Amino acid sequence: MTLLVSLLIFFFAVIIHEYAHGWVAWKLGDSTARFMGRLTLNPIAHIDPIGTIFLPLILLMTHSPILFGWAKPVPVDFFNLNNPKKDMIWVSLAGPAANIIFAIALSLIVKIPLLTTSHFAITVITTAIMANLVLAVFNLLPIPPLDGSRVLMGLLPYHLGVEYAKIEPYGFIIIFALLWLGVINTIIWPVVIILTRLLGVNF
């Protein structure tokens, strides 16, 4: 039951993340996600069998210190944005920001007196807070194709951004190598712990 609940929580966090990308892109001039039926919270529209179900399940079953996965990326045509270089930053930040906002909302809910009497409710909500914070911080790493890399590309001069984008085909290899070496855990967990303390949540 705990495994299933954790997987569902992670799945919902990923959906919120992707929806936020599409929604901000739409508001800034690109309707690609909307026209392709991806501007929705319907899980079916976002499921990636490997990244959304299989990989997170394996990580949960092996008690991995970090939960990693992805949904089908929401399509964004940056050239349709009102100001492609600047707006790419806002679209990229939208996913992590949505997860952090959701974590903040959950941290307020978990303090409701009625819920403190239910161990299961507290466990579910705190797990959801952790999943959203980990997803947000992880995606802000400047490794293509993670959101942090899009933010960096938007900040770099054009020619440097083009050169930086060339490592994207090797991005997942770099990510898995850093996960295996424990480097990503070392970077993410201190930040997540600080954020949970700021939210007044104990794990």
The residues carrying an active-site annotation are 18
Apex CA 27: angle with CA 129 and CA 11, to 5°? 30
Using an 8 Å Cβ cutoff, are 132 and 106 in contact?
yes
